[in-house]
């Protein structure tokens, strides 16, 4: 069963995606607007599946955000950024974790066997 977006679900999904709205800013100042989070919620049957898809999308956004820069120097000052590979690995691990949680939420277990709930059209 698909979910209906609510302010509470949007807040929870934003937290699962580690997407904090900066103080004094709006949702437009994050990687996902509230409308985009609504869409993620509508496309999935549980919050963890929505988070998994969100982390997968974030992995794709990292490339554009980093523009391939891993080190920046200006005079004696040097800043080293987390590598793109590390960011991608982390995002995809989070996506896999939430996918597993979403799958577990959609199944019913007993000691003898596990039954996956069918999707209803």
Buried b (16+ CB within 10 A) or exposed e, 3-41: bebeeebbebbbebbeeeeeeeeebeebbbebeebbebb
| Predicted model pTM | 0.70
In tens, the pLDDT along 48-107 reads: 999 999 999 998 888 777 665 566 667 777 776 677 788 888 889 999 999 999 888 776
pLDDT of residue 23: 95
């Amino acid at each position: 069963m698909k979910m209906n977006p609510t302010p509470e679900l949007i807040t929870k999904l934003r937290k699962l995606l580690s997407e904090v709205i900066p103080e004094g800013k709006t949702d437009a100042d994050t990687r996902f607007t509230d409308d985009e989070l609504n869409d993620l919620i509508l496309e999935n049957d549980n919050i963890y599946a929505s988070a998994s898809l969100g982390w997968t999308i974030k992995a794709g956004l990292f490339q554009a955000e980093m523009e391939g820069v891993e080190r920046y120097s200006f005079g004696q000052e040097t800043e080293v950024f987390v590598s793109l590979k590390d960011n991608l690995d982390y995002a995809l691990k989070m996506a896999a974790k939430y996918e597993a949680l979403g799958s577990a939420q959609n199944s019913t277990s007993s000691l003898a066997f596990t039954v996956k709930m069918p999707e209803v059209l």
